[in-house]
Structure formats: C-alpha cells, structure tokens
Structure 1
Amino acid sequence: MQRLRIVGAALATITLLGTVTACGSDHSSASSDKTVVVKITVENGDITPKGDRIKVGAGQPIDLVVTADRAGSLHMHSDPEQEFAYDKGTKTFPITIDRPGVIEVESHDPPQIIVQLEVR
C-alpha cells in the first residue's frame, strides 16, 4: 500500500512539473504579442539599417518607424505586396505578417534591402 502512495506521489509530481513547463511555454509565446519596433533612418541619401535580419513571430505586431530628411517610400515583398509612402519627418507604419517566411523591406531610391523580417 505504501508503495502505491509513493508511486502516486511521484506521478502527481511529474504531472505538476509538466504543467509548470507548459505554463512556461505559454509565457514565452505571450512575448510574441509585444510590438517589434524597426527604426529606419533616411539621411543625406543613405538608409539604415542595411539588410539586417529581424526575427518576429507570425501575427506579431511590427512598427516600421521611418525618420527621414526627405519624402520617399518603402516596398515590402509580402503577399500582397505593400508600399509605404513617407514625408520628411517621422512616420510609423504598423504591420503584421501572418505567414512564416522571410519578408524583405526595401527602398527603390536608393535601391537597397533595408531589413529582412524572418517570420516564424
């Protein structure tokens, strides 16, 4: 009888540890709800960043924050493709990407890949 109690206590402990681990996993996925901010600077004909890869979760909010000394536009190779026009100053473009993959955000003037959003 005592052996059954020990086995029962061990199973209860294993079950409890499994539950705690699952809660830990849920907590890490909750952080994917946090907005990723991508700062883009356009100054004197130069754009930064220059092709950085940023990991984001599928459906995670992303803010493309453009600070520019002139008007221009960004092009995003998503499905559907998107274009974001900006004026001189600072403008924020809130986006989300639902499908996993790598999405390029680029400029045509000057032609360059600004960031690659690696969606998981």
Structure 2
Amino acid sequence: MRRAIAALALVVCTVGLAGCGDDDKPGDSGSGGSDQPTKTIDVTFSGDDVTPNGDRVEVAVGQPIEFKVTSDAAGEIHVHSDPEQELAYTKGTVTLPTFTIDKPGIVEVESHALEKTIVQLEVK
C-alpha cells in the first residue's frame, strides 16, 4: 500500500512539474517583445558643437534608451516626449538614466543652451 501511495505521489509531482514547465513557455515568448536591448546613443559636446547633430535614430516603442554623454561642460538634454524629460549631465563622461517612449512618432532631442537638435528619435 505504501508503494502505491509513493508511486501515486511521484506521478502527481511529475505531472505537476511538467504543467509548471508548460506555463513558463508562453510567458517567456510573451515577455520576449518587452525585453528589448537598450539603445545607447553616444553624444559629444565640445564648445558649441554637438555630435550627432540632428541625426535620425530608430528605436522601438518601449525600448530602453540611454545617452552616454562626453562633454567639456555641464549641461542639459531636453527630450520632447510625452511627458517631456530634461536630463542633466556633468563635465566629463556620464551615462544618463535610461528612459522609454511609449508612443510611435518622431521625438526631438535638443540642447536648448546650444539651440541645436542632437537626434530625432524615430519611434516605431
């Protein structure tokens, strides 16, 4: 009798574990779309010049975006998204906080101090 109960317990555990494994697969495929790699955009400020200078950069809706800024002076990047974002940077090289854009379209990223467009994010 004990062997029968032990065998039944083994079958129940095996079936239960197999069921849990199947539940993970749909979750994995569903989360694959939201686990996009971070898009890093290198920005260099030197005097009154900025590189890139108005380039269009493609990003996906919801994709993490970060700016790696190298600058000879502190300043601020203005992202014309909804909501708008102002990202301050210091002299030297710094990686700014990651953000996402949730609506498709063109998002201007500017330096107001230099009155220049850094990039246009083409969000698809």
**TM-score under structure 1 length normalisation:** 0.71
Structure number, greater radius of gyration: 2
Name 1:111's counterpart in structure 2.
115
Match of 2:79 among 61, 76, 79: 76
* 1:51–1:115 contact (8 Å) kept in structure 2: yes
Does residue 62 (structure 1) correspond to residue 65 (structure 2)? The answer is: yes
Please tell me whether residue 45 in structure 1 is matched to residue 45 in structure 2: no
Q: What amino acid sits opposite 1:83 in the alignment?
A: E
The answer to whether the 8 A contact 2:108-2:119 is kept is yes
In structure 1, runs of 5+ residues without a counterpart are: 1-25
| Cα distance in 2 for residues equivalent to 1:38 and 1:83 | 16
Give the partner amino acid of 1:67: T
Q: 4+ residue stretches of structure 1 with deviation over 6 A?
A: none
Which residue number corresponds to residue 4 of structure 1? Answer: none
Provide the aligned length of Structure 1 versus Structure 2: 93
Unaligned 5+ segments in structure 2 are: 1-28
More strand by share: 1
Q: Deviations 1:4-27 (Å, cap 9, x if unpaired)?
A: xxxxxxxxxxxxxxxxxxxxxx8x
For residues 89 and 39 of structure 1, the distance between their equivalents in structure 2, rounded to whole angstroms, comes to: 13
In structure 2, the partner of 1:96 is 100
Shift of 1:32: 7.1
Q: C-alpha root-mean-square deviation of aligned residues, in Å?
A: 1.8
SS at match of 1:109: coil
Paired amino acid for 2:57: I
Q: 1:32·1:57 contact (CA, 8 Å) conserved in 2?
A: no
Note if contact 2:55-2:120 (Cα within 8 Å) is conserved in structure 1: yes
Which TM-score applies when normalising by structure 2? Answer: 0.69
Confirm or deny: 8 A CA contact 1:106 1:114 kept in the other structure. Answer: yes
Contact 1:32 1:56 in 2 (8 A): no
Report sequence identity in percent: 53
One-letter code aligned to 2:81? S
